[in-house]
A and B are shown apart, each in its own frame.
Chain A
Amino acid sequence: MGASEKITLLGRAAVVEGLPENPAVKAVLAWKPEALVDARFDREELTLTIAPEEIRAAAATVQAAGYNFFEDMTAVDWLPSTPRFQLSYHLLSHGFKDRLRLRVLVDGESPSVESITDVWPSANFYEREVFDLFGIRFDGHPNLRRIMMPDDWEGNPLRKDYPVEGYR
């Protein structure tokens, strides 16, 4: 907890300028600068927004840059704003002792992104969970089935248009 806690960088240009030595920023810029759509550094957390079609390649890029551990992946439903869904990938580097969030924005109409299970096999259950509870498809996933809800369940419970209580 030092002075670095106070720094907030909003927007791609600010992050690229403010954190030029960050290994993830460096790796993504060296690989494909146009894939980095947006970025922010807020509350000591770096978020890189990646173009949806590039997420698998971006994951492989930051993995090679030292972010070796896939920790968590989930979605956020931003209904009624567009694009509707946000996917947040939380990655950890054992070497840098640092975290990174990759963020992808997906449209609400038949949402789908590429699976990252061949980069990190541990994403398997997490992608199934998001598929089950949000209805986002992951292309190339080896076993895209519901994981929490029964197989014949209708609807995706964590979507914002799915009621919390009462009759549907």
Chain B
Amino acid sequence: MTETIGTPILQAPAAEGARDQHMVINLGPQHPSMHGVLRLVAEIDGEIIVRLYPEIGYLHTGIEKTCEAKFYQQVVPLTDRLDYLGPLSNNLCYCLAVERLLGLEIPEKAEWIRVLLAELTRLNSHLIWLGTHAMDIGALTVFLYCFREREEILRIFEGLSGQRMMTSYFRIGGLAMDPPLDFFDRVQGFIKGFPEKIDQYSNLLTGNPIFRSRLKGVGYLSAADAIALGVTGPPMRASGVDFDQRRDRPYSGYEKFQFKVPISTDGDCWARYEVRLIEMRESVKIIQQALDGMPEGPIKADAPKIVLPEREKMKTQMESLIHHFKIVSEGFAVPAGEVYQGIESPRGQMGYYVVSDGTAKPWRVHFRNPSFATLQALEAMCKGRMLADLVAVVGSIDIVLGEIDR
């Protein structure tokens, strides 16, 4: 039923006013600088990019379709697989959406731990971005340092949930289980030394003349283009659009935290680098506030028909055993309606759209992932620039193919 087949650039290589020397080259899907299975088809004039066309879908696994066949609580592990560098952001967004459909109130302690972990996830994701971005440009050392710190974060996640990457720690109605006893001390130990580590990366990169000249003035995106092309998150704020959902549409108790939202008006790769570095420092501040003010109390909502009971209670109380059996075997009904929940993920605005028809399985789940929209702006950022800049730009917008292809 599709009428147009194939990549448009390959079918009609001659752009408007093209000369004979135009050439079409293909980058990816297996290419070391493409951050996954992204395929870019570029039409070049010498070394200047004339047109650029992203081909995606190589990682499409139909997660949205799979969700429709699962109970609401069974979707949580699927969301981990979308943005696999920030799994807890995905969990958070999905859980908040379903909790709003249910009208469920979450205990304060669970909210605070969620904020703490969401920011730790942001650090985790930004560390990978910084490491791989610097490596693409040729500064290999930073990559090793970033992964050293990331390892510590993954160990904290492992102690928390038993998993390093696919954590599924946030559940509908709260958290999967109490954090381990040494959890807060470990987080405190980690963030105590972390600002120094950011200085270390900055010392290696900010004054580095090669890194500077590869990023400054490269991949320019104006504020109007950022909005028109759907760019969100750090790339949007680096273009001068002052919007952060944590501050402007607070969720999960973010209104209780004080932090700055870094903005730059330069709109180039260097601005994106600077904005993300400051964001990491602000995340550390949020984590510190969360540790200092961590409230006491339960970590699961008092909703026995939705939240799985404690193991101890299940083994000793008839009522809890029945609830456990019911939730696991037939799920829980969610009132009919539709909800769009947006959060600020490390990469930008994430939004989960959950439609319920009143049964125990979601009628439709749609994921609005920031990378998917950001990719549309790639041509605008690279047009008229050198081919070598493409690598710097792809690194600077920080895309994850898992959430693009879904």
* A interface list, Cβ under 8 A from B: 42-43, 45, 47, 68-72, 74, 76-77, 88, 90, 92, 94, 97, 99, 101, 120-122, 124-126, 133, 135, 143-152, 154, 157-158, 162, 164-165
Contacts and interface: CB of A to CB of B under 8 A. Distances in A.
A72 B1 contact: no
A146 B2 contact: yes
A147 B56 contact: yes
Given A68-B227, A72-B366, A164-B65, A145 B2 contact: yes
Contact of A143 (B8, B241, B349, B368): B8
A146 B364 CA distance: 20
Interface of B: 1-6, 8, 56-57, 60, 62, 64-66, 68-69, 100-101, 103, 227-230, 241-243, 248-249, 337-340, 342, 349, 351, 353, 355, 363-364, 366, 368, 372-373, 375-376, 405-406
Contacts, number: 107
A157 B57 CA distance: 14
B interface secondary structure, majority? mixed
A43 B227 contact: no
A90 B351 contact: yes
Contacts of B6: 151
A121 B368 contact: no
B360 to A, nearest CB: 15
* Shortest beta-carbon contacts, A-B, top 10: A122-B230, A72-B368, A74-B366, A148-B60, A164-B69, A148-B57, A151-B5, A76-B364, A97-B248, A94-B243
Nearest to B374: A122
Nearest to A143: B8
A24 to B, nearest CB: 15
Contacts of A151: 2, 5-6
A90 B340 contact: yes
Nearest to A142: B8
A149 B349 CA distance: 25
A88 B375 CA distance: 22
Contacts of B65: 157-158, 162, 164
A157 B62 CA distance: 8
A100 B376 CA distance: 23
Contacts of B242: 94
A120 B228 contact: yes
B351 A88 contact: no
Given A71-B349, A143-B8, A99 B340 contact: yes
Given A121-B229, A125-B373, A145-B4, 4 more contacts: A88-B353, A90-B368, A94-B243, A164-B68
B376 A122 contact: yes
A25 to B, nearest CB: 18
A76 B8 contact: no
Kindly name the residue among B5, B68, B227, B249 whose own CB sees the greatest number of chain A CB atoms within 10 A: B227
A71 B351 contact: yes
A162 to B, nearest CB: 8
Contact of A43 (B1, B60, B101): B101
A45 B340 contact: yes
A72 B103 CA distance: 23
